[in-house]
Structures are given as structure tokens and as C-alpha cells.
Chains A and B, each alone.
Chain A
Amino acid sequence: GNSVTQMEGPVTLSEEAFLTINCTYTATGYPSLFWYVQYPGEGLQLLLKATKADDKGSNKGFEATYRKETTSFHLEKGSVQVSDSAVYFCALSETSGGSNYKLTFGKGTLLTVNP
């Protein structure tokens, strides 16, 4: 079956530090890959996505590249801000014909950015 493994948290950084949150996956087909973010008191929001190998998703200064050879989709940001403090979830969905597109999530990584 499908699974997602992401870096255990919590992660605590100072403002303007470089962020990496590792994510690897196992899938039987050709998944799309996602990063979702959950800010305190809010619902899950799609941060970025990549639908095929070597695609790079990007949004709000965050980036992640779909690496089929290493089955990875690591999240990076060059300079984090206090407002980036949230829980980050890596996820995948199968996108082959007839797929239900349900999402399989990792456990989440809590990021805290201090001023």
C-alpha cells in the first residue's frame, strides 16, 4: 500500500534560517505529491504540489522537487519567518486511471520559528 514518511518534529528555527523537512514515500503507481500546511486554529491548506517526476512545486517561498529515483519530496525554504510557524504535512495521491485521488498523509512536522 501507499505510505508517507516525514521528518519527526518538532523543528525550532530562528527567523531567516534555512528550512528543510524531509519526506519520502512508497507508492504502487504514479502518485502526485503534496505539502499541506495547518496554521494554528485553521484547516489544512494546500501549500504546493507536483504531479510528475522532476516537477518542482513552489509557493510562498517554499519549494519541493518530485524525485522519483529517491522517492522523495523534501520541503525547503531559504529564509523562514515567524508567520511560517505551523504543522506541515507531506501527502500523496494516486492519479492513475480510475483512481479515487484519496490522500495518504505523513504524521506532520511542527515548525516553530522564533524572532
Chain B
Amino acid sequence: DTGVSQDPRHKITKRGQNVTFRCDPISEHNRLYWYRQTLGQGPEFLTYFQNEAQLEKSRLLSDRFSAERPKGSFSTLEIQRTEQGDSAMYLCASSSYQTGYTEAFFGQGTRLTVV
């Protein structure tokens, strides 16, 4: 297992465009989390899934954001009508019931720049 992978690593888009990011968790990790990290700040929770069910969304997740995890495997995060304020690092993490969910493994992130 190669860990949590995210694609793409970098994305530059024009304001108003839609973007989609993908996260592949560690296999058999049933929890998957999305976080957003802006410059000089720690990561902030956006949403999480247990298997295919999205169980919580942060108030940071505006209506322009949507996340899915079909079949409980990989997840996608889509941002519609991007704004400059969406520029950030988007991090994905997964965890397993076997560790009591206390240990989250992070991907390298997708850096989004909105111009």
C-alpha cells in the first residue's frame, strides 16, 4: 500500500471555472476526511465520509463545494465557480476502525491557485 494519494498535485484555474480533485485513501480505510490549509495556518476540517456516507460538513463548505465518495473507495471534491479565496492546499486523510480512528494518514495535498 502506497498511502493516501491525491490528484492533481497542483491546479491553476481561472476564476469562475469548476475544478475537481481526487483522493484515493489507504485501502480498507473506511473513514475519509477533507481539510483545507491556507498559507500560515493549520489545516481546517471540511467534511468526512464513513464508507460512502457523508456524515458531516463544516460551515466552511459553501454551496459551491461538493464531495462524493461513491462505493466507499476514492473521493472527489468539486468546487464550482471558483473564487480567489478558494486558493489553498486541499488535504485528504483516511483512518481505520482498526486503530480506533485515532491515527489519520494524510496525502500530499492538491494545491489550488485561482487567478
Contacts and interface: CB of A to CB of B under 8 A. Distances in A.
A and B together in one complex? yes
Interface of A: 4, 32, 36, 42-46, 49, 51, 89, 91, 93, 95, 100-108
Interface residues of B, number: 26
B34 to A, nearest CB: 10
Contacts of A107: 40-42
B43 A32 contact: no
B41 A103 contact: no
Interface of A is mostly: strand
Nearest to B31: A101
Interface in B60-115: 91, 93, 95, 100-109
Contacts of B28: none
Given A32-B102, A44-B91, A103 B107 contact: no
A104 B45 contact: yes
